[in-house]
Amino acid sequence: MLNAKMNWKLKEYPFDNSDVGTLASETKFSEAFLKLCIQRGLNSLDAIEAFILQDESIFHDPFSLFDMDRAVSRIIEAIEKEQAILVYGDYDADGITSTAILVEVIEEMGGNVSYYLPNRFTDGYGPNKSVFQRQISNGIELIITCDNGVTGHESINLANQNKVDVIVTDHHELPEILPDAYAIIHPKNPNGKYPFSDLSGAGVALKVASALLGRIPYEFFDIASIGTIADLVSLTDENRWIVKKGLELLQHTERLGLHILLEKAGIAPEAIDEETIGFTVGPRLNALGRLGDAMPGVELLLSFDEDRLEQLVEEIQSVNSKRQEIVNDIYQSALKKVAEFNTMPNIILLSDEDWHEGVLGIVASRIVEETGRPTILLSRNIESGIAKGSGRSTDAIHLYHALSDCSDLLVKFGGHKMAAGLSVEINQLEILDARINEYAQAFSEEIKQGTSIEIDEILEVEEVTVEFLKEINQLRPFGTDNPKPIFAFENVSIQNVKKIGLDQKHLKLLFESNEKTLDVIGFNKGKLADYMSEREPVSAVGELSINTWRDVSKPQLQLKDVKIDSVQFFDYRSSNVQKDAFAVQNSVYLFFNKNFFEKMSNQIMEDSVSVLLESTDSIPPFDEELTNLVLIDCPTNLLYLEKFISEHPFQNYYIYAYPIQSITAEGVPSQNQFAHVYRYIRTHQNMDVRSKLDELAKYLKIDKNLLIFIISVFLEAKFVTIDNGIMNPNAKPEKINLEETNTYQKRLNKINAEKLFIYHSFQELSHWMEERLK
């Protein structure tokens, strides 16, 4: 059994299937594709074609943004008077691209322009008074912010006092009171009525460029698309068209820096799409600001010095690699801390002195994905006494509201439902942990359900064709508010399950139905292979795409989540101890041999426990989160195991059954062998069985191990006595059935267990266990 980590929700269909059939008969599109369209509000052929064939008419007039005419006049004035202009950006990908757009358009118009991106760690977010003062002292006469500014009251007042105008271009949430800037260009400016409110910082900069040039500035669409995708704004309305056109330009970009960056990242021009930007270009630009100085990002977009650009790309690649390494190290560190929880909290709050503040949001997202719990990670600075970090949430908890409930404990915080940043005094961390989990208690049931994932359609393997996926691609680019469709497959047979990649952390398998197969890949889901048996069907949700390799195109499903409803049994039986056997998470490891238990039990994972089962009285209680049972060595008594598994049901059973000191091949001595040995013992006194056992076994022509067993039976039956290694026969032994002795029964039980667990087919073994579970 494998539980889903996410809360699967099938979207309600806002249509009648007969209507879909009618629409399909009028078009060239498949019914499955039309369902997707209707769910997106495209319920007619005209609406579908307008969406697919979107054109420049969707690009709104930049002068409909409030204060645009005032801003343009001031910028043109500064250009004409050769005033020194500063573009003040932000340290993320959106800030880098919006800065590059404004700098390039002002340079194109002949302006005297420079730029500055604040450092996350020394300047903080948004306008910084010290930086403004320094720049003004150096002769700056006009400041244009981009991707920030609406909260920069103090810095803008400082500029005003120095008779320097500030034009704010921003898209972040507006405060109740706006700063006293010369102009504020914002799609949500309360004094304006701009028809689309969700532009990125780069989108706002693009609008300024358009207003300055008096036309649609297609030459900036490539970098505007990067900022728009990276900032996760709504990919609807004009944003979708900007990104769509920008991606087309990126495939033939004349920006040498981007060309070199994509080449170094192994991205072919024709392969560039929104996922390339989201997973390759955006993270590389963001890495600069996360770890230090983001200024090289603007230079990358603007420069045409090939030697310098080669150097810049190497630097960016190096910073990104370092960022990935730091993220992975913190992720592993955080996972170890999570494994130490006796009970999983509703909200995970962790801190560490060695964690890098700049990447904690990324790591928190991965912990949320792994655990299904809202997560806050903080970096503790002992010198300042402050812990700073980021949180990521699930649908069940509004993170900003949760932090607001604890605001008296926080130095500062900000964010929204799904993400937040915060600072807190280190000595308040324990109290914050208790308070925020107290707040979350009311939502515990929803939290346990995991992050919700909305399923567009349930498909059969046979329905997934390259042609169908080409239809879906007409809805691209996908992103916020125009998500890539999520599909589900129910109770599908699987084949060729294997772990792949570095450290085998990825998963690969095939879905199979009616001789049709579908390639399936699960990035960072390699551990799921331990839960998959080709005997049991799976249900899965994921995204479909076309995978082309050596000019052959095939559909491929990228797994988001998977579940198996039935109890599973995994056959890992082997005569040799395997290292992977001790890496099954959330498990009870069941040992039967004491020496093997003492030697190996310390090798299991931190989130698991080990048990030595020597009787029906040695069965302790377990945490319900321990969902797997690992039979690590071969049972010695089936009755012990029967009682154990009847009292403690698990979701998955991993059978290794290492044959520790196997005796099945030796068997049980015959009555003649017992009699032969007894006749000899009865007529011999003072036998040294400690040092002369080998000679005795050779003389009696019996296997040494069997002889030891026979003597043990005689000793229990009081046929003999052994004192300090010297054996003598009992002159008047009581009559007893040797087969009823504990020693004899113990050997018989061990042989029966070995026959079942080592020599029977796995089908017979799993059937035996299934019957006991019932």
The percent helix, strand, coil of the chain (3-state, each to 5) is 45, 20, 35
Give the pLDDT band (50/70/90) at residue 348. Answer: very high
Domain ranges for the chain: 7-51+453-563, 61-319, 341-449, 568-661+755-773, 671-740
Averaged pLDDT score across all residues of the chain: 93
Q: What CATH number was assigned to the domain covering residues 671-740?
A: 1.10.10
Q: What CATH number was assigned to the domain covering residues 61-319?
A: 3.90.1640.30
The predicted-structure confidence for 277-297, as pLDDT tens digits, reads as follows 999 999 999 999 989 899 999
Give the integer Cα–Cα distance in Å for 409 and 425.
Answer: 8
Beta strand residue intervals within 599-699, DSSP E: 609-612, 628-633, 652-658, 687-688
* pLDDT (mean) for 352-372: 93
> What's the token pair of residue 588?
């009870």
* pLDDT (mean) for 450-477: 93
Query: Do 453 and 487 contact (CB within 8 A), yes or no?
Result: no
The predicted-structure confidence for 700-713, as pLDDT tens digits, reads as follows 999 999 999 999 99
Q: For residue 79, what are the contacts with CB-CB under 8 A and spacing of at least 6?
A: 85, 106, 109, 110, 111, 112
Q: Which fold has domain 341-449?
A: Diaminopimelate Epimerase; Chain A, domain 1 (3.10.310)
pLDDT at residue 535, rounded to an integer: 74
Kindly tell me the sign of the dihedral angle through the C-alpha atoms of 641, 643, 645, 648: negative
The enclosing H or E element of 298 equals: helix 295-302
Question: Would the pTM of this model clear 0.85, i.e. be above it?
Answer: no
Per cent of the chain over pLDDT 90 is 76
pLDDT at residue 107, rounded to an integer: 97
Give the pLDDT band (50/70/90) at residue 26. Answer: confident
Amino acid at 270: E
Beta strand pairing status for 687-688 and 726-729?
Answer: antiparallel
* pLDDT (mean) for 251-268: 92
Q: What CATH number was assigned to the domain covering residues 7-51+453-563?
A: 2.40.50.460
Strand order in the sheet with 419-425: 348-352, 375-381, 386-392, 419-425, 410-415
**Per-residue DSSP letter, 86:** E
* pLDDT (mean) for 448-454: 86
The predicted-structure confidence for 723-750, as pLDDT tens digits, reads as follows 999 999 998 899 999 999 999 999 999 9
pLDDT at residue 223, rounded to an integer: 96
Least confident piece of the model among 245-249, 260-264, 620-624, 656-660: 620-624
Query: Do 648 and 564 contact (CB within 8 A), yes or no?
Result: no
531: pLDDT strictly greater than 90? no
14: pLDDT strictly greater than 80? no
The enclosing H or E element of 157 equals: helix 153-161
435: pLDDT strictly greater than 90? yes
The predicted-structure confidence for 202-238, as pLDDT tens digits, reads as follows 999 999 999 999 999 999 999 999 999 999 899 999 9
The enclosing H or E element of 242 equals: helix 237-250
Residue 686 CA: distances (Å) to CA of 472, 693, 701, 720: 90, 13, 20, 11
In 389-489, which residue ranges form alpha helices assigned H by DSSP? 399-405, 429-440, 444-448, 466-473
638: pLDDT strictly greater than 80? yes
349: pLDDT strictly greater than 80? yes
18: pLDDT strictly greater than 80? no
The enclosing H or E element of 560 equals: strand 552-563
The predicted-structure confidence for 42-82, as pLDDT tens digits, reads as follows 888 888 999 999 999 999 999 999 999 999 999 999 999 99
Query: Do 298 and 202 contact (CB within 8 A), yes or no?
Result: no
pLDDT at residue 647, rounded to an integer: 86
Least confident piece of the model among 132-136, 470-474, 493-497, 615-619: 615-619
717: pLDDT strictly greater than 80? yes
Query: Do 510 and 556 contact (CB within 8 A), yes or no?
Result: no
Give the pLDDT band (50/70/90) at residue 416. Answer: confident
φ/ψ (deg, to 5) at 308? -65, -40
* pLDDT (mean) for 654-659: 94
Per cent of the chain over pLDDT 70 is 100
301: pLDDT strictly greater than 90? yes
The predicted-structure confidence for 574-616, as pLDDT tens digits, reads as follows 888 888 889 888 899 999 999 999 999 999 988 899 999 998 8
**Per-residue DSSP letter, 491:** E
Give the integer Cα–Cα distance in Å for 485 and 481.
Answer: 11
Give the pLDDT band (50/70/90) at residue 16. Answer: confident
> What's the token pair of residue 748?
């018989």
Angle between helix 295-302 and 93-108 (nearest 10):
50
